[in-house]
Amino acid sequence: MKKITLIFSIIFLVGCSGQSENIDSQSIDKNETFNWRLVTSWPKNYPGLGMAPERIADLVEEMSDGQMKITVYGAEEQVPAFGVFDAVSSGSHQMGHSGGYFWKGKVPAAQFFTSVPFGLTADEINAWVNRGGGLELWREIYAPFNIYPIPAGNTGTQMFGWFNKEINSLEDVKGLKMRIPGIGGEVLKEAGGIPVTLPGGELFTALQTGVIDATEWVGPYNDLTFGFHQAAKYYYYPGWHEPGPMLELLINIDAWNSLPNHLQVIIETATKAVNQDMLDEYLAKNNQALTELVEVHGVELRRLPDDVIEEFREISNKILDDLAKEDETIAKVYESYLNFKNNVSAYHEISEDAFVESRNK
């Protein structure tokens, strides 16, 4: 009996010791502070795009009661606009905010997690990523680069862009030097244009000085702030190339794994809130800005001819099919993306599409 009593006493003491160590460990985790740096592809404090990471940082600090502070840097403050991915991958910065199609040279499949021509709208890509298997694929293809992505904003359907000449046929696209990233740029190239990739902060000067003939950026809300109406006359829609561009919060995996669980939950929750908040912001602001562009600044709003849109669609479909044949990772992502698109489009025919058509008659 004495031996049994002793054994139980030892087990009890060891158990208490383990619980004590566990409690102490949790206490240390909750008291430890974290000061991280976040680099972006956008000008500092730029409306919408640039403010989304600022809002994430504010929410994380408030929700963590100051345990975690994130300092946000605009493009070129610490790294170039298109250097965000490498900065986070290497661990020189813990976080970044940008768009996946900027990394097509490193991770071609990343483009599907921003936007591809004639693809998913903002609501649809949110649903695919969050509930349709997209997020698992996204994290799988970024893992080899030591990056953990989280959806972090959406501008909604964009405009095709700003032009100094009318686009009446596909002939007018040939030889046109236009800033347009991602697969949209590949479509323009196949149509005879010359795609150029430039960061947002360089676009006005490039357009004004004739370095480029045309540019897409985002939509009226952001385009007005950049003053493109002072450098180009025609404003074309629809934004076939970016129907619902999702932005991304990039986190270095080693840094992510160093965080206690509750801070990981806070970051995920704050980013998810900003992902929706940013879409709300653009929806609320775009038409007001468009009205000002047209009625105050005399911008000529134009719709692309249907035959031009159809040609872009055919070129786009061929490019996407060819990419899927050449790259196994793209094929895997594209299959998931396309299946989701076809499924949700079938329901939209009798829901959103049918309703909007009947409402707007």
* Phi and psi, residue 251, nearest 5°: -130, 130
pLDDT of 30 above 70: no
pLDDT of 2 above 60: no
Higher pLDDT, 344 or 8: 344
How many CA within 13 A on the CB side of residue 284? 8
Q: Is residue 64 part of a domain?
A: yes
Query: What sign for the dihedral angle of Cα 195, 172, 116, 158?
Result: positive
For every residue of 302-322, DSSP letters joined together read EEPPHHHHHHHHHHHHHHHHH
Residues 140 and 207 in one domain: no
Residues 334 and 312 in one domain: yes
- Average pLDDT along the chain: 92
Burial class (CB in 10 A: 0-12, 13-18, 19+), 305: middle
Tens-place pLDDT, residues 147-164 = 999 999 999 999 999 999
Lowest mean pLDDT among 17-21, 155-159, 164-168, 225-229: 17-21
Residues 165 and 228 in one domain: yes
Q: Is residue 26 part of a domain?
A: no
Residues 235 and 265 in one domain: no
Q: What is the mean pLDDT of residues 287-292?
A: 98
Q: Is residue 21 part of a domain?
A: no
Q: Is residue 261 part of a domain?
A: yes
Please name the amino acid found at residue 24: D
The CATH number linked to 137 is 3.40.190.170
Residues 236 and 275 in one domain: no
pLDDT of 326 above 50: yes
What radius of gyration, in Å, describes the C-alpha atoms of the chain?
24
Tens-place pLDDT, residues 4-18 = 443 334 334 334 444
Residues 252 and 326 in one domain: no
User: By residue range, what is the domain housing residue 131?
Assistant: 34-156+244-283
* pLDDT on residue 139: 98
The CATH number linked to 178 is 3.40.190.10
Phi-psi region of 330 (alpha: psi -120 to 50; beta: other; left: phi over 0): alpha
Tens-place pLDDT, residues 302-311 = 999 999 999 9
Q: Is residue 95 part of a domain?
A: yes
pLDDT of 231 above 80: yes
Q: Tell me how many domains the chain contains.
A: 2
